């Protein structure tokens, strides 16, 4: 199995090309579980990852999970990994770009600009995590993420950065 990394003249990798190559490789060659590329192919073609999780404390704000697997028996029987902690993100649901206005523009746009540059190779849920990480630690990240959702959508439309349109 050979992975060809495609790079432009500026030396930057072109992830979509490699991803498309891997997708067709995995889909049509019927990769088996004993293959070295089974987990990579399972991820690329979108198989379900089965995990177990347990709330941390009684606040329902964070949970532990296990490593996960692409089969339910393996995924549900793995022990929890207490170093894998996921935190609940607030969901505002407001994606109307007209709500990005004088009340939140100055506060939201700087971290969005950073995320637009830092998260260019993200996909799906990975984009949410990447964008979340770009908000300054000195600010209340939950409030920022929730209040800045309309500005994410405004910036995404204004500057053609579609990966910024995440589920806020």
Residue 50 β-bridge partners: 69
> Mean pLDDT: which of 57-61, 99-103, 152-156 is highest?
152-156
* Structure confidence at residue 55 (pLDDT): 85
CB 4, CB 21: distance < 8 Å:
yes
> For the chain, what is the mean pLDDT?
78
C-alpha distances in angstroms, 114 versus 34, 81, 117, 162, 163?
A: 41, 31, 5, 15, 13
The percentage of the chain sitting over the pLDDT mark of 90, rounded to a whole number, equals: 16
pLDDT of 109 > 80? The answer is yes
pLDDT of 26 > 60? The answer is yes
Query: Which band of pLDDT confidence, cut at 50, 70 and 90, is reported for residue 6?
Result: very low
The whole-number average pLDDT for the span 128-132 is 84
* Structure confidence at residue 142 (pLDDT): 61
* Structure confidence at residue 160 (pLDDT): 95
pTM (global) more than 0.85 = no
| DSSP reduced 3-state for 102 | coil
Distance of CA 126 to the CA centre of its chain: 1
Pairwise CA distance, residues 164 & 3, whole Å: 28
């Amino acid at each position: 199995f050979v992975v060809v990394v495609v790079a432009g003249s500026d030396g930057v990798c072109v992830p979509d090309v490699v991803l498309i190559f891997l997708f067709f490789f995995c889909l049509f060659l019927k990769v088996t579980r004993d293959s070295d590329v089974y987990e990579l192919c399972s991820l690329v073609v979108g198989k379900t990852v089965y995990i177990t999780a347990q709330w941390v404390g009684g606040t329902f704000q964070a949970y532990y999970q296990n490593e996960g697997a692409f089969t339910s028996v393996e995924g549900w029987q793995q022990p929890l990994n207490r170093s894998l902690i996921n935190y609940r993100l607030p969901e505002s649901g407001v994606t109307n770009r007209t709500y990005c206005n004088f009340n939140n523009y100055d506060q939201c746009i700087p971290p969005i600009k950073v995320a637009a540059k830092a998260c260019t190779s993200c996909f799906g849920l990975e984009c949410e995590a990447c964008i979340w990480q770009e908000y300054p630690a000195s600010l209340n990240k939950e409030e920022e993420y929730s209040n800045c959702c309309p500005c994410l959508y405004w910036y995404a439309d204004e500057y053609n950065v579609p990966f910024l349109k995440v589920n806020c």
